[in-house]
């Protein structure tokens, strides 16, 4: 079958259709084109289980991957209709918080593109990550009903149902699917489970809801508020619901493909994305037991099938659940977990590596490490810190399990789709091959001295800044000046990522201007970040950024040199506008704390220069582009780790010792800020910095100021700046998620590539 034109999917001329009718016609066209190309098949299949898949809007992405974008755009244009208007009306599935969820989405794209039989397994949340808006200069949250159109969405209901038993009651579930189109290839699927008894009427005002009736609220929200026990318990219910459905599906499918379950590892690879899906291990062992497989063999099968990815070294983020929670949610798992605990206890006494600790808490990562065959970190430095410090006792036990898989991003979404002008310029300069083999971007290095090319890069950046400015005006009514330097920090709001350090820089710059020291060029600081609803200090940081923005904007002189903007409801869609417009990419986490970072890769690919600490994947970026093409500052991870170990960090000594720092910190709770802000919040933030500053912003303040001054000075020489940008683009190839996925497959999954053509 040849895919027809869009007009064959409507019963009236395209010009007469409503936008919704056109959107639905596009859904059908994409679905048919995807089916026509077929799904990647093979004896062994990857199941990437994750509580998050931050897939973003799919219309343009799917059209590009299917090679239909230009023809559809032209067909619509010929009838006076605009594809971008339809792109605008699509609701973004924000089924994730940040990097971990977006990584899962990039990985599915790469698996599909590379011909690997692979599916994502997760939950069909009715509401994705909350919508953020600002009122009284503070973050407010409301539900994100991304499924407003019901049937008219990418989510396809299947006729597959499962039963999940919780302590005291059962629920039934339905499997939904979203196609994951590969670039010029076949597809995979994102398979999401919903509980049949879900009831959106239990949602009250904002994002609060009745936490008691699990049968109704189970799949309503991505990560319900876990600031209290009811919220935490619900999270365990969600996790078990996800893995029980997933494990049942996997066993059914593998048997259908010919597995006798003893040989499950020849049919399935399960990648556990952080600890949220950890219970898949005991659940798999339990189900294998139901199929008559003895415990010891079931453990060994589960180990051969499962692999675990760690995304954090923040001890507080490693999940532990009180055993009685699991007992309440899934009592059938308790005998299994007890036996796993005993297996570990019998072979090793070290309390650090036990499954259940002396307080009766179950350590999810410990289950993953003992009972899977691979443990990977997500950047070289991160994996090294896991091996040498955070998980050192495990590394001693199982050195062979540990491996690194430096993260990557899909270049389809993060260049071809979001920055078509840049993609066009690259193709014009080095041809098309880079779209399939990102390392070919290095061919750009031969053009470093091509003044015409550097000039075009500069023009594209300017165009993207104007485009972003127009988007921001429409999005939240804020005006930004494309002549200013766009200095961008966009990522989850977390103290370790240190938006507060950037805030201190902005405060210092404002004070400098007030003192008559005027910068050469205006800087527009753009922050995009959501704070977890119960994370008070993170919300205080957002509040302080917005308040400072107001103070600066109200000052007739300072506003000519500085603008501080907090972008409302930062999500994938906003990122696609923002990243191509950035001049400077702020990657300023405390060294040793950012596992990898992935926005650093997106900014680099889009020609922004990194201002960053030697943390996560920044280290690898620095190695690749060389010293002259990146701006680094701050203490290194060894110094930071040693300082934590000594436990002698005293923020006050830095505050007392640096007048600029003292002034900036005092300003945060001074009269000007209090005129626009909330005293309690600004006071709390200041006290947190002075009394604790757990992520050590103060020791890096001085070198941050110095390096940032250098960056802002260097932008003035656009020729040399764009040359650096070109080197960054050329070296970004390593960070293609295609490379990452090839490494996962080579070292961990061992899937066959589906190179056949045709249908399912
Ligand atoms: O995972 C992030 C890390 O912080 C980044 O350094 C890394 O690049 C990416 C991908 O590997 N982690 C998260 O995004 N984590 C979460 O969003 C999260 C969600 C729920 C609970 C704990 C953490």
Active site residue 373: no
Q: Which helix H or strand E contains 323, and what residues bound it?
A: helix 323-329
Smallest CA-to-CA distance from 122 within 273, 321, 339, 312 is with 273
How is residue 209 annotated by DSSP? Answer: B
User: Which residue ranges does the chain devote to CATH 3.40.50.2000?
Assistant: 14-251, 481-723
Q: How confident is the model at residue 391 (pLDDT cuts 50, 70, 90)?
A: very high
* Residue of 656 and 755 predicted with greater confidence: 656
Active site residue 497: yes
Whose alpha carbon is nearest atom 10 of ligand 1?
100
Residue among 107, 42, 32, 105 nearest 253 (CA): 42
Contacts for 694 with CB less than 8 Å, ≥ 6 apart: 495
Q: pLDDT tens across 6-59, in order? A: 999 999 999 999 999 999 999 999 999 999 999 999 999 999 999 999 999 999
Read off the pLDDT of each residue in 727-740 and give the average, rounded to a whole number: 98
Report whether pLDDT(257) > 70: yes
Please give the pLDDT value at position 150.
52
Q: To test ligand 1's pocket by mutation, which of 51, 54, 97, 100 has the most ligand atoms within 8 angstroms of CB?
A: 100
Predicted local confidence at residue 714, as pLDDT: 97
CB burial string 139-148: b at 16+ within 10 A, e below: bebebbebbe
Tell me what pLDDT residue 89 has. 87
Say if residue 259's pLDDT is above 60.
yes
DSSP string, 113-165: HTT--EEEEEE--SB-SPEEEEETTEEEEE---TTTTTTSSS-EEEEEEEEEE
Distance CA 626, CA 472 (A): 34
Lowest mean pLDDT, pick from 208-222, 458-472, 572-586, 606-620: 208-222
Per-residue confidence (pLDDT) for residue 226, from 0 to 100: 81
Catalytic residue, candidates 191, 276, 401, 492 = 492
**Over the range 100-113, which residues count as b (16 or more CB within 10 Å of their CB) and which as e?**
bbbbbbbbbbbbbb
Ligand 1 mean position, distance from CA 659 (Å):
36
Q: Among 135, 209, 155, 55, which Cα is nearest to 569's?
A: 135
| CA dist., res. 210 & res. 511, Å (int) | 47
Do 80 and 73 meet the contact criterion of CB atoms below 8 Å apart?
no
Around ligand 1, the residues with Cβ closer than 6 Å are: 97-100, 103, 311-312, 317, 378, 407, 594-598, 616
Q: Measured between alpha carbons, how far is 344 from 357 in angstroms, rounded to an integer?
A: 12
CA angle 132-208-122, nearest 5°? 75
Q: Which of 94, 98, 598, 618 most suits a substitution to test ligand 1, by most atoms within 8 Å of the C-beta?
A: 98
Confidence of residue 3 (pLDDT cuts 50, 70, 90): low
Q: What is the pLDDT of residue 205?
A: 82
Enumerate the β-bridge partners of residue 632. Answer: 612
Higher pLDDT, 316 or 423: 423
Mutate to test the pocket of ligand 1, among 128, 277, 311 (most ligand atoms within 8 A of CB): 311
pLDDT digits (tens, 9 = 90+) for 333-353: 999 999 999 999 999 999 999
Tens digits of residue pLDDT in 268-309: 999 999 999 999 999 999 999 999 999 999 999 999 999 999
- Return the ligand 1 atom nearest residue 594 CA: 6
The dihedral built from the CA positions of residue 518, 663, 502 and 481, taken in this order, carries a sign that is: negative
342 tagged catalytic: no
| Distance from residue 241's CA to the centre of ligand 1 (Å) | 22
The mean pLDDT of the chain is 96
pLDDT in tens, 153-196: 899 999 999 999 999 999 999 999 999 999 999 999 999 999 99
Residue 204 confidence (pLDDT): 87
Q: What's the pTM? A: 0.98
Q: 602 catalytic, yes or no?
A: yes
Type and span of the H or E element at 121: strand 118-123
Which pLDDT does position 759 carry in this prediction?
A: 45
pLDDT over threshold 70, residue 134: yes
Q: Among this protein's residues, is 491 annotated catalytic?
A: yes
pLDDT of residue 2: 60
Please confirm, yes or no, whether 311 is among the known catalytic residues.
Answer: yes
The 3 state secondary structure assigned to 379-442 is CHHHHHHHHHHHCHHHHHHCHHHEEECCCCECHHHHHHHCCHHHHHHHHHHHCCHHHCCHHHHH
Choose the catalytic residue: 602, 669, 708, 723: 602
Asked if pLDDT for residue 228 goes beyond 70, the answer is yes
What is the average per-residue pLDDT within 220-231? 87
Q: Is the per-residue pLDDT at 505 higher than 80?
A: yes
pLDDT of residue 148: 67
CATH number, span 14-251: 3.40.50.2000
Radius of gyration of the chain (CA): 26
Instruction: Assess if CATH 3.50.50.60 describes domain 481-723.
Output: no
pLDDT at 730: 98
> 209-218, 405-414, 720-729: lowest mean pLDDT where?
209-218
Average pLDDT over residues 509-513: 98
ipTM over 0.95: yes
User: In the numeric block, which tokens belong to residue 23?
Assistant: 């959107």
Residue 758, pLDDT > 80, answer: no
Q: Nearest 5 degrees, angle CA 295-CA 296-CA 298?
A: 65
Strand pairing category for 131-135 and 138-142? antiparallel
Query: Which amino acid residue places its CA nearest to atom 8 of ligand 1?
Result: 597
HSE-CB for 600 with a 13 A CA cutoff:
32
- Picking from 239, 156, 191, 244, the residue whose alpha carbon sits closest to that of residue 45 is 191
What crossing angle do the helices spanning 659-668 and 679-691 adopt, rounded to 10°?
Answer: 150
């Amino acid at each position: 079958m040849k895919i027809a034109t869009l007009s064959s999917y409507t019963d009236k001329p395209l010009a007469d259709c409503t936008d919704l009718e056109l959107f639905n016609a596009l859904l059908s066209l994409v679905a048919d084109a995807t089916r026509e190309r077929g799904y990647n098949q093979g004896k062994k299949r990857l199941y990437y289980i994750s509580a998050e898949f931050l897939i973003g809007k799919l219309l343009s992405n799917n059209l590009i991957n299917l090679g239909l974008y230009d023809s559809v755009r032209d067909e619509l244009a010929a009838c006076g209709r605009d594809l971008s208007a339809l792109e605008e009306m699509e609701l973004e599935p924000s089924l994730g918080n940040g990097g971990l969820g977006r990584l899962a989405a990039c990985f599915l794209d790469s698996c599909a593109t590379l011909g690997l039989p692979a599916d994502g397994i997760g939950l069909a949340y009715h509401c994705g990550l909350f919508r953020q808006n600002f009122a009284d200069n503070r973050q407010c949250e409301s539900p994100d009903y991304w499924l407003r159109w019901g049937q008219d969405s990418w989510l396809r209901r299947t006729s597959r149902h499962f039963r999940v038993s919780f302590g005291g009651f059962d629920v039934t579930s339905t499997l939904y699917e979203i196609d994951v189109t590969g670039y010029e290839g076949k597809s995979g699927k994102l398979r999401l489970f919903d509980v049949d008894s879900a009831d959106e009427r239990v949602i009250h005002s904002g994002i609060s809801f009745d936490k008691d009736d699990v049968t109704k609220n189970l799949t309503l929200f991505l990560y319900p508020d876990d600031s209290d026990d009811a919220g935490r318990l619900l999270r365990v219910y969600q996790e078990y619901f996800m893995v029980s459905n997933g494990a049942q599906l996997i066993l059914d499918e593998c048997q259908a493909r010919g597995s006798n379950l003893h040989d499950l590892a020849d049919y399935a690879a399960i990648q556990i994305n952080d600890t949220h899906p950890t219970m898949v291990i005991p659940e798999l062992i339990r189900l294998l037991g139901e199929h008559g497989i003895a415990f010891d063999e079931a453990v060994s099968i589960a180990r051969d099938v499962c692999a675990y990815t760690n995304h954090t070294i923040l001890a507080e983020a490693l999940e532990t659940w009180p055993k009685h929670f699991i007992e309440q949610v899934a009592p059938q798992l308790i005998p299994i977990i007890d036996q796993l605990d005993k297996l570990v206890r019998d072979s090793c006494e070290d309390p650090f590596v036990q499954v259940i600790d002396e307080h009766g808490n179950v350590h999810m990562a410990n289950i993953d490490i003992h009972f899977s065959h691979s443990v990977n970190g997500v950047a070289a430095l991160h994996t090294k810190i896991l091996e040498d410090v955070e998980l050192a006792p495990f590394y001693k036990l199982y050195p062979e399990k540990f491996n690194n898989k430096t993260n990557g991003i899909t270049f389809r979404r993060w260049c071809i789709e979001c920055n078509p002008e840049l993609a066009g310029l690259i193709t014009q300069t080095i041809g098309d091959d880079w779209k399939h083999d990102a390392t070919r971007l290095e061919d750009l290095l031969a053009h470093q001295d091509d003044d015409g090319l550097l000039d075009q890069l500069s023009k594209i950046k300017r165009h993207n800044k104007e485009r972003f400015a127009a988007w921001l005006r429409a999005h939240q009514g804020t005006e930004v000046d494309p002549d200013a330097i766009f200095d961008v920090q966009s990522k989850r709001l977390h103290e370790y990522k240190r938006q507060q350090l950037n805030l201190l820089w902005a405060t210092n710059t404002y004070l400098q201007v007030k003192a008559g020291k005027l910068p050469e060029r205006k800087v527009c600081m753009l922050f995009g970040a959501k704070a977890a609803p119960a994370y008070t200090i993170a919300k205080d940081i957002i509040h302080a950024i917005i308040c400072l923005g107001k103070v600066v904007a109200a000052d007739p002189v300072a506003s000519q040199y500085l603008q501080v903007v907090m972008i409302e409801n930062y999500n994938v869609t906003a990122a696609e506008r923002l990243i191509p417009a950035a001049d400077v990419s702020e990657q300023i986490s405390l060294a040793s704390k950012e596992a990898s970072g992935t926005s650093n890769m997106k900014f680099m690919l889009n020609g922004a220069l990194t201002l960053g600490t030697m943390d996560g994947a920044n280290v690898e970026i620095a190695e690749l582009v060389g010293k002259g093409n990146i701006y680094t500052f701050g203490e290194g991870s060894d110094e930071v780790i040693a300082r934590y170990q000594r436990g002698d960090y005293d923020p006050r000594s830095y505050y007392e010792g640096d007048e600029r720092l003292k002034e900036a910190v005092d300003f945060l709770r001074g009269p000007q800020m209090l005129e626009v802000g909330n005293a309690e919040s600004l006071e709390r933030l200041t006290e947190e910095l002075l009394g604790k500053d757990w992520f050590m912003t103060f020791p890096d303040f001085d070198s941050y100021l110095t390096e940032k001054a250098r960056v802002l000075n260097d932008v003035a020489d656009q020729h040399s700046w764009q040359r650096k940008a070109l080197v960054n683009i050329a070296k970004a190839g390593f960070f293609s998620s295609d490379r990452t996925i090839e490494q996962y497959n080579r070292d961990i999954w061992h899937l066959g590539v589906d190179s056949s053509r045709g249908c399912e």
